[in-house]
Amino acid sequence: MGPLEGIKVLDLSKYGPSRYTSMILADLGAEVIVVEMPRTAGQTLDVVADDVGALYIAHNHNKKSIVLNLKKDEGKKIFYGLVEKMDVIIEANRPGVLKRRSMDYDSVKKLNSRLVYCSITGYGQDGPYAQRTGHEINFAAISGALGLTGSRNGPPVYLQSPSIADLLGGVTHAVITIISALFAREKNGKGQFIDVSITDGTIFYHWIDGQPYLLDSKLPERAESATGSDMACMNTYKAGDGKYFTVGCAEPWLWAKLCKIVGREDFIPHQLDGIDKQKEIYQAFSEVFSTKNRDEWIKLLDEADIGVAPVYNFEEIFADPHFKKRKVLVEMQHPKLGKIKMLNTPFKFSETPAEVKARPPLWGEHTREILSNILGYSNAQIERLLKEKVIE
């Protein structure tokens, strides 16, 4: 039994941050129903509408799927019926879209005063940019995350995977606030509206560079180094076999130990020197690191208790014995794809385990079940709704 067992979530969204949010809630034990529009009734990217596509698989395990045409009165009636049974609603429309359909928080809280209603948008519910369209790359740019990546001698580098703004500003922000609102409801009996702005959330996570700027107004700059870091003690190095690894020695005593290992004790006093010295140290270290292969350096430095890690590709990640032991992957049988591997939930509890217990649903797989078991619709009523294209 997961920690959110008994919590019911209705997800009206289509895309990454919101769908990942509801999947995390499902991993934690909530019953999550995703509402899909009929494929012919609206604009949906193929990558999220194809129930055997990689992105659909990635966002939807542990969920149930209902296809519901919310543009029809009967479809909206079904939605209202589900609202009365839910604890949480998640949506990701531009501000005002659901208000025009009488599906916004102010409309539905009359049906369910305990409802936690979470709206995830790029720029929040108000402000000059509230109605702007956008994707993760835009949110990362305007919130300052993109401007700090890469070398100042080249363009900013967009980190598409993982999507920093969507995950930090969107998913993390949404999960924390939803669970907090459910906790608050246990004390006061009331639901509430949650305004999740991906850009607000991303700005909040500037804990390394943001506060120093606020204290002394000094703008952080991208690195001169092509690796994205000017500090030799916190950088990426190429080994003799052409593979890369990282060294992290922020502590002076670890830096001293590293300098001794590479035979350059003369660099010990210069850990935090300026860029010219950093370039000199980096070049010297690079020459030494080119004398052994990556795994040899990993073993040597790890045994010395120095922060070191290989720069892995996906094949290496999933073959690593540590991550096999940690069970970062889970296998399940899929009715169309056969046996598939998926990313496992990272949440580990001693008493209320989170788990991937169900494969991603097929498109509309649970429409009949939801209408029948949750709302009490008869077979005849369901058949009529199918003919009228209210459901699929």
Q: Kindly report, residue by residue over 247-297, the tens digit of the pLDDT.
A: 999 999 999 999 999 999 999 999 999 999 999 999 999 999 999 999 999
Instruction: Map residue 310 onto helix, strand or coil.
Output: strand
Amino acid at 65: S
* Partners of 34 in beta bridges: 11, 65
Domains of the chain (ranges; CATH) run 8-204+327-387 (3.40.50.10540), 234-311 (3.30.1540.10)
Give whole-number Cα distances, 18 to 7, 234, 265, in Å: 17, 34, 51
Q: What is the largest CA-CA distance in the chain?
A: 84
Give the rounded distance of the alpha carbon of 350 from its chain centre.
24
pLDDT at 327: 97
State the alpha helices, DSSP H only, in 149-197.
164, 173-188
pLDDT at 46: 60
Q: What is the block-wise mean pLDDT of the chain (392 residues), using blocks of 10 residues? A: 96 93 98 90 64 92 96 96 98 96 97 98 97 95 93 89 90 98 98 98 94 93 92 98 97 97 98 97 98 98 97 97 97 97 96 96 96 97 95 92
Tokens coding 273:
């020197």
Instruction: Map residue 201 onto helix, strand or coil.
Output: helix
pLDDT at 187: 97
pLDDT at 15: 86
Q: What is the CA radius of gyration of the chain?
A: 25
Instruction: Output b/e per residue, 102-137; b: 16+ Cβ within 10 A.
Output: ebbbeebbeebeebbbbbbbbbbeeeeeeeeebebe
Per-residue DSSP letter, 242:
S
Q: How do beta strands 244-248 and 307-310 pair?
A: antiparallel
pLDDT at 312: 97
The Cα–Cα gap between 37 and 342 comes to 25
Contact between 290 and 309 under an 8 Å Cβ cutoff? The reply is: no
H or E element, residue 116: strand 116-121
Q: Which backbone phi and psi does 177 adopt, to 5 degrees?
A: -70, -35
Contact between 143 and 169 under an 8 Å Cβ cutoff? The reply is: yes
Nearest to residue 385, comparing CAs of 104, 79, 107, 102? 79
pLDDT at 141: 95
